């Protein structure tokens, strides 16, 4: 692999590739799209592997991870709490309405909601929210550094952009995604409990029912937190590092980071949930 292709793909203008695809015809265009996906997957894999390498072998700047924990985690607390609070209210209200029609008994409403929250919703919805805020921020920051040649200047200073830019965000995201999702889950549960009490007269002590939550649910939820915490900075950093052009390129990188991070979360959710149901069928 040449020195260039590792972190800095050649800045081919987007209209140029469109012109080439027009010459290829329909089948050729589909083939070209698959090739593009294969190249993107290889680059993403390369960023991931090199990030893991530098987690253990890199030399981090003092305070870089703490700084990113503040940027990624602390500054996301209010956003995550507000969104998850409202989502918790909506979920419990809709669930209560459905339960009212079928079995007018709300004793298991809290237990079912808590299981769903621990196993899936807190992690997946919280991570989707994080992807919009954190993913966009990472891609915009790294993308701006690419187009202003700061990433090239890093490479000239013998500082690998993966070690210097991606690893602190990766480590910070692993820790803070878990912490934020625990907070988000708690907020969603509390707002759900308040909704159940106001609209369906379910007392909080009845709503807080751990009967359906087992170790498998906790392990599945924890695995999702770690997977999403890793996926968001990796995907977003890759989008930032593959930025080309000027401010328009940074805009596209930001959009791609949000879309691809969200896709990664949904795909990971499918596989981890499937594995969770196979390993912990209860």
Partner 1 sequence: MLAFKNIKKSFGPKQVLNDVSFDVKAGECFFIIGASGVGKSVLIKHLVGLLACDSGEIWLDGEEISRFDEQQMGPVRKKCAMVFQHATLFDSMTCAENVALPLRKHKDMNAKDALAEAKKRLAVVHMQAFADRYPPELGDGMRKRVAIARALTVDPTYVLFDEPTTSLDPVSARRVDTLIRELCDKLGVTSIVVSHDLSSIFSIADRIVMLYKGKVLKIGTPAEFKATDNGIIQQFINGRAEGPMDL
Q: Where do contacts with partner 1 occur on this chain (CB under 8 A)?
A: 1-8, 10-13, 16-17, 19-20, 62, 148-150, 152-160
| Least distance from partner 1 to the Cβ atom of residue 234, Å | 19
Q: Is the CB of 162 or the CB of 202 nearer to partner 1?
A: 162
Residue 268: CB minimum distance to partner 1, A: 29
Angle between helix 167-200 and helix 64-72 axes, rounded to 10 deg: 30
- The helix (run of H) or strand (run of E) holding residue 152 is helix 150-156
Side-chain-facing half-sphere of 155: CA atoms under 13 Å: 13
Spatial distance between the Cα atoms of 218 and 220, rounded to a whole number of angstroms: 6
Q: What distance lies between CA 52 and its chain's CA centroid?
A: 17
User: Minimum distance from CB of 261 to partner 1 (Å)?
Assistant: 24
CB of 1: closest distance to partner 1 in angstroms?
6
Q: Which is nearer to partner 1, 159 or 194 (CB)?
A: 159
CB atoms within 10 A of CB 262: 17
From the CB of 49, what's the least distance to partner 1, in Å? Answer: 14
> CB of residue 149 vs partner 1: minimum separation in angstroms?
5
Question: Is residue 123 exposed (0-12), middle (13-18) or buried (19+ Cβ within 10 Å)?
Answer: buried
- Is the Cα torsion angle 112, 115, 118, 121 positive or negative in sign? negative
Nearer to partner 1 by C-beta: 11 or 204? Answer: 11
Q: Between 9 and 85, name the residue whose CB sits nearer to partner 1.
A: 9
CA distances from 26 to 23, 29, 38 (A): 9, 5, 19
The nearer residue to partner 1, 115 or 160, going by C-beta atoms, is 160
Residues 181/120, Cβ–Cβ less than 8 Å: no
In angstroms, give the least distance from the CB of 211 to partner 1.
50
CA 165 to chain centre: 18
- What tokens were used for 171? 């480590």
Is 16 or 102 the residue whose CB approaches partner 1 more closely?
16
CB of 251 to partner 1, least distance (A): 20
Distance, C-alpha 14 to centroid of its chain: 27
Q: What sign has the CA pseudo-torsion 149, 245, 267, 229?
A: positive
> Smaller CB distance to partner 1: residue 20 or 35?
20
| CA distance linking residue 160 with residue 59, whole number of Å | 10
Structure tokens at 139: 């891609």
Taking the least distance from each CB to partner 1, the nearer of 3 and 27 is: 3
């Amino acid at each position: 692999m040449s020195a260039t292709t590792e972190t800095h793909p050649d800045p081919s203008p987007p209209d140029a590739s469109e012109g080439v695809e027009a010459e290829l015809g329909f089948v050729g265009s589909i083939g070209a799209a698959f090739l593009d996906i294969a190249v993107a997957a290889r680059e993403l894999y390369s960023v991931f592997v090199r990030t893991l390498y530098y987690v253990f072998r890199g030399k981090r700047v003092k305070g870089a991870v703490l700084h990113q924990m503040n940027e990624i985690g602390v500054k996301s607390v209010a956003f995550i709490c507000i969104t998850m609070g409202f989502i918790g209210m909506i979920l419990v209200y809709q669930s209560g309405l459905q339960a009212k029609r079928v079995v007018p008994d709300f004793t298991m409403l809290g237990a079912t909601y808590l299981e769903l929250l621990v196993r899936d919703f807190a992690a997946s919805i919280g991570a989707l929210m994080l992807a919009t805020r954190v993913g966009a921020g990472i891609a915009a920051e790294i993308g701006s550094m690419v187009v202003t040649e700061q990433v090239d200047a890093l490479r000239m200073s013998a500082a690998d952009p993966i070690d210097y830019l991606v690893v602190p965000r990766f480590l910070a995201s692993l820790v803070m995604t878990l912490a934020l999702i625990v907070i988000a889950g708690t907020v969603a549960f509390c707002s759900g409990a308040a909704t159940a009490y106001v609209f369906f007269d379910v007392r909080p002590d009845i709503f807080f029912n751990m009967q359906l939550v087992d170790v498998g649910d906790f392990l599945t939820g924890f695995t999702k937190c770690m997977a999403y915490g890793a996926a968001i900075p990796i995907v977003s950093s890759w989008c930032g590092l593959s930025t080309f052009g000027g401010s328009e390129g940074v805009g596209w990188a930001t959009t791609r980071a949000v879309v691809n991070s969200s896709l990664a979360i949904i795909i990971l959710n499918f596989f981890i949930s499937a594995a969770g149901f196979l390993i912990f069928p209860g």
